[in-house]
Amino acid sequence: MGGLKHIISTKQFLDTSILENLFLVANQMENEDKNKKIKQTLKGKILASLFYEPSTRTRFSFEVAIQKLGGKVITTESASHFSSVTKGESLQDTIKILQEYADVIILRHNKEGSAQIAADVSSVPIINAGDGAGEHPTQALLDIYTIKKEKGKINDLNIALVGDLLYGRTVHSLLNLLSLYSAIKIYLVSPPELKLPQKYKDVLIQENIQFEEVEDIKKILNKIDVIYVTRIQRERFLSQKEYEQVKGSYIINKEVIKSLKEDAIIMHPLPRVDEISPEVDDDKRAAYFRQARNGLYLRMALLHMLFNGELKQRRL
């Protein structure tokens, strides 16, 4: 079983030992950065950012990550509007060109399955930075890393996933990783229109992970160790009317978190719209900005290990 070439899905990660190694390297990267002693292990490597959808944290953190490790970046923002795509170029042809210029391609695309399409024609690593309503594997990796840092463990936790579970690709990727752990219970909190697709519930069933579907978040707040909030994915709806019907279904504010455990944490992949009130930001349980910072070091570790063949693969 060789080293991982492309990162398309969290299903590729074999077991928790691989994740623990990744977390150790991420911790090392953070310590080296604080002490200004980062090793230039990727000097001469070039990362291409190919984003067909907007991004702030993912794009910038990957670009900063490789530069801190000695590499360089070529980038385009809104590739669907400012590249040869406007002339009708296919994704496959774009990848075939970029592989001649870069050593790794970070791809975000609006269509589910696009990352695998790109990987099928690419001679350089493709990292899926979000493919429509499919997956966002590096977000899930930093989410798990954050839970471990904040709670000291991942096993034996009650975790609530709140909001858009139908289109929320961060949730889809995260569930694959959570299924590797034991003695956890997952609460799936969403309006009926945005329930988790059955294929992801099947993963939980297969791995004997306890889960419960809930509409009223207030009924479970006192049981939760980790509350993972997601925004309603407006861009996935066919009409503004459909979006307005579910917008604001769950709003985490000071009144709501009164019922939350004192040692619980509140997470969000960001960006947020109205689902977490800014008044919560100063609460010690609000971990979402720490979560975003963790993304830099997790992605540094990921790039380092990817290029050095230190990530083991499981075929999809």
Catalytic residues: 57-58, 87, 108, 136
- Three-state secondary-structure class, residue 202: helix
The one-letter amino acid at 205: I
- CA 133/CA 142 separation, integer angstroms: 19
Q: In what order do the strands lie in the sheet with 226-229?
A: 210-214, 185-189, 158-162, 226-229, 265-267
- CA 120 from chain center: how many Å? 22
Alpha carbon distances (Å) from 102 to 7, 68, 99: 16, 17, 5
User: b/e map of 209-245 (b: 16 or more CB within 10 Å)?
Assistant: bebeeeeebeebbeebbbbbbbbbbeebbeeeeeeee
**Residue 126 β-bridge partners:** 105
